[in-house]
């Protein structure tokens, strides 16, 4: 399957400008919808200028359903992400539907947009999500007079033959290109930064939206729009959905293409401007790992192999973090033994560099990060990889010590983490960075075969642990390999491995507030008990997908999930079908969508190289220009 992953950011210049009902001739003339929009990633970085084939479809529902109209536009010009097309110029838009017939746009329709990645109509490409609402509110009052106003003009240069715009489809290739810099009172493209478009236009006395045009905003009381002369019309709900993107592949030394199928890799999301999901290493079987990796660009939908020159030795479950410009990793397991080294990867130069050796005053025994989650500390005055706990050897013993790998400018250094008041040794705990403290909770104390439900707070600025343990009142039951996140005020914990003797899992959860040292119990998620599920915080919700149970040597994976809202204290099941179930996968929240990559069922041939995107539902507010 060919894939493409352009996103449209619905900010200030969304284009349902002249919408259905705009026409230049009599009742027999075709409907034409001028559609304008800006193709960006979720951080607002414009898509590269060029020509693309874009397919537009209209549906009667926001998710699924049958296409009611389709039109393929080839060689659409994109300049700094901006596109402008006439819908209905190639394939006439329907005027009526149903029996008895009613006006096609008398009810809400939904516009789906697909970028044909390989410019081949015979191969399928994923549709962008969510679909955009077309509401039946844009009929010009004087549309019936426009034919008399324009009927005497020679339209042949645009419409091909004759003077009647209804005689043939619009020939867009005959409309001369008009660039922004040729418009009077125009604003240079360099000034059209994300979030500044409306302010730039207003300050120059130019409006990007004509009277009656519609703008969508995530802010229900957008003062910029209200002050600019817009009236709030109402609210639009944009549905959630799944889409599969390009499978990860690696070019081998002989020029062949091999799947990059792994579990428990080192991974991160880079954010803008790179907009890449990076995955390196990982398990390729129950006893072997790899030392290759790849970067997935969500704008182009393309995987790029990472350099293997000076790369670390093969491993999985390493401690890792994204610094903002580099991926740093340390430790892990090669499938046989745990490791005590690491590297730094720079995606801008596609190069690996060595970490500084451990100084004599820092003791850091080899170990693996069994929870396989990033433990990067990011603050204005401290940037460091938190390496604590984990497991060493085989069978693994839990560790209760560690070190900070600090980055200051371009210099890396090591600091021993204090053991005074430190928690008991453990691996597979929940570890989150709050912005001022590290929270360590739960996990498995292998030496005494005990799961834990206690924890401590660590201050990396003073290198001290809290003298007292976190409250256990209303705390979750003891567990390891739980799903967890930091919301900005609370650590949410759900699910996990609940009994080392019976291999039972749990499906309960709770949220911890470090300011008050209090736990609150979460309602039921409506999901089966599981551990090792992928989970991320979206900024408003905690999303859980997949996971597994283990019984008599068999991993039973799940292909369902749910999202939890702290605001409403409620769970909502994710739509199905979604991504097939795995465990030991990698996940990242990009700011607009949840990415899920790799994983396994721990059976022969079950290691995965597919990447999926889940987009949650969104509420956007409609404002109309007066």
Q: What is the pLDDT of residues 214-271, one digit of tens each?
A: 888 888 998 888 988 899 988 877 788 899 999 998 876 666 678 999 999 999 999 9
With 0-12 / 13-18 / 19 or more C-beta atoms within 10 angstroms meaning exposed / middle / buried, residue 604 is: exposed
| Stretch (H or E) spanning 199 | helix 197-203
Structural contact between residues 428 and 443, judged by C-beta atoms closer than 8 angstroms: yes
Six-digit token string for 355: 């970490």
Model confidence at 610: pLDDT above 90 = yes
CA atoms of 449 and 442, how far apart (whole Å): 13
Task: Give the model's pLDDT for residue 43.
Answer: 55
Alpha-carbon span 514 to 486, nearest angstrom: 11
Confidence of residue 5 (pLDDT cuts 50, 70, 90): very low
As a whole number of angstroms, the distance between CA 543 and CA 574 comes to: 9
CB-based contacts of 182: which residues, under 8 Å, 6+ apart?
none
pLDDT, one tens digit per residue, over 456-485 is 999 999 999 999 999 999 999 999 999 999
Here the tokens at position 151 are 């009927």
User: Bridge-partner residues for 445, per DSSP?
Assistant: 450
- Identify whether the C-beta of residue 324 lies closer than 8 Å to the C-beta of residue 376: no
Mean per-residue pLDDT of the chain:
82
Q: Is the peptide bond between 135 and the residue preceding it cis, with omega within 30 degrees of 0?
A: no
Q: What is the pTM of this model?
A: 0.68
Instruction: Provide the 8-state DSSP code for 263.
Output: B
Structure confidence by residue, pLDDT tens digits, 396-421: 799 999 999 999 988 999 999 999 99
Percent of the chain with pLDDT over 70: 81
Where does 218-281 show beta strands of DSSP type E? 230-238, 241-244, 249-251, 257-259, 266-269, 276-280
Q: Is the pLDDT of residue 386 over 80?
A: yes
Which pLDDT value is given to residue 525? 98
Structure tokens, 240: 């959630």
How does residue 125 score in pLDDT terms, banded at 50, 70 and 90? confident
Q: Which residue has the higher pLDDT, 56 or 395?
A: 56
Q: Is 446 helix (H, G, I), strand (E, B) or coil?
A: helix
| Residue 186 contacts residue 206 (beta carbons within 8 Å) | yes
Residues with Cβ < 8 Å from 148, sequence gap 6 or more?
A: none
Residue 577, preceding peptide bond in cis (omega within 30° of 0): yes
């Amino acid at each position: 399957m060919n894939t493409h992953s352009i996103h449209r950011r619905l900010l200030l210049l969304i284009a349902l400008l002249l919408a259905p009902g705009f026409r230049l001739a009599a009742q027999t003339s075709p409907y034409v919808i001028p559609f304008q929009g800006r193709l960006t990633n979720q951080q607002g970085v414009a898509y590269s200028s060029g020509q693309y084939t874009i397919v537009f479809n209209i549906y009667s529902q926001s998710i699924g359903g049958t296409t009611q109209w389709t039109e393929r536009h080839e060689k659409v010009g994109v300049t700094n992400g901006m596109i402008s097309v006439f819908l209905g110029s190639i394939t006439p838009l329907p005027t009526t539907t149903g029996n008895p017939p009613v006006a096609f746009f008398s009810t809400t329709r939904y516009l789906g947009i697909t970028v044909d990645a390989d410019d081949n109509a015979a191969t399928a490409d994923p549709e962008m999500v969510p679909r955009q609402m077309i509401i039946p509110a844009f009929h010009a009052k004087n549309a019936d007079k426009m034919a008399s106003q324009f009927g005497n003009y020679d339209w042949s240069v645009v419409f091909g033959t004759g003077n009647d715009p209804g005689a043939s489809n619009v020939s867009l290739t005959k409309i001369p290109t008009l660039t922004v810099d040729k418009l009077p009172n125009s604003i240079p493209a360099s000034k059209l930064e994300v979030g500044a478009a409306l302010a730039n236009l207003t300050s120059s006395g130019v409006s990007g939206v004509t009277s009656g045009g519609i703008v969508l905003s995530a802010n229900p009381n957008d003062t910029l729009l209200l002050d600019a002369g817009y009236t709030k019309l109402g609210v639009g709900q944009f549905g959630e959905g799944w889409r599969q993107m390009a499978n990860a592949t690696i070019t081998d030394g002989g020029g062949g293409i091999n799947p990059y199928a792994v579990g428990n890799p080192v991974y991160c999301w880079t954010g803008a401007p790179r907009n890449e999901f990076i995955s390196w290493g990982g398990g390729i079987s129950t006893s072997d790992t790899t030392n290759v990796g790849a970067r997935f660009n969500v704008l182009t939908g393309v995987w790029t192999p990472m350099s293997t020159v000076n790369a670390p030795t093969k491993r999985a479950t390493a401690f890792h973090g994204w610094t903002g410009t580099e991926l740093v990793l340390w430790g892990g397991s090669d499938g046989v033994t745990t490791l005590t080294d690491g590297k730094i990867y720079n995606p801008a130069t596609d190069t690996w560099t060595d970490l500084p050796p451990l100084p004599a005053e820092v003791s850091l025994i080899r170990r693996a990060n069994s929870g396989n989650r990033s433990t990067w500390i990011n603050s204005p005055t401290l940037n460091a990889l938190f390496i604590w706990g984990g497991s060493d050897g085989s069978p693994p013993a839990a560790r209760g010590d560690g070190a900070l790998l600090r980055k200051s400018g371009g210099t890396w250094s090591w600091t021993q983490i204090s053991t005074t008041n430190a928690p008991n040794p453990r691996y597979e705990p929940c570890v989150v960075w709050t912005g001022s403290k590290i929270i360590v909770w739960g996990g498995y104390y292998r030496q005494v075969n005990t799961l834990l439900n206690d924890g401590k707070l660590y201050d990396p600025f003073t290198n001290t642990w809290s003298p007292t343990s976190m409250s256990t009142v209303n705390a979750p039951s003891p567990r390891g390999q739980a799903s967890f996140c930091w919301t900005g005020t609370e650590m949410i914990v759900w699910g996990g491995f609940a009994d080392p003797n019976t291999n039972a899992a749990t499906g309960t959860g709770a949220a911890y507030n470090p300011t008050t040292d209090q736990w609150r119990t979460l309602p039921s998620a409506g999901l089966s008990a599981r551990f090792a599920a992928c989970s991320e915080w979206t900024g408003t919700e905690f999303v859980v997908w997949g996971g597994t149970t283990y019984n008599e040597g068999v991993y039973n994976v799940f292909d369902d999930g749910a999202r939890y809202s702290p605001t409403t204290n409620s769970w909502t099941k994710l739509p199905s079908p979604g991504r097939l179930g795995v465990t030991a996968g990698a996940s990242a929240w990009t700011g607009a969508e949840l990415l899920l990559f790799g994983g396994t069922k721990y059976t022969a041939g079950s290691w995965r190289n597919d990447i999926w995107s889940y987009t949650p539902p969104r509420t956007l507010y409609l404002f109309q220009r007066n």
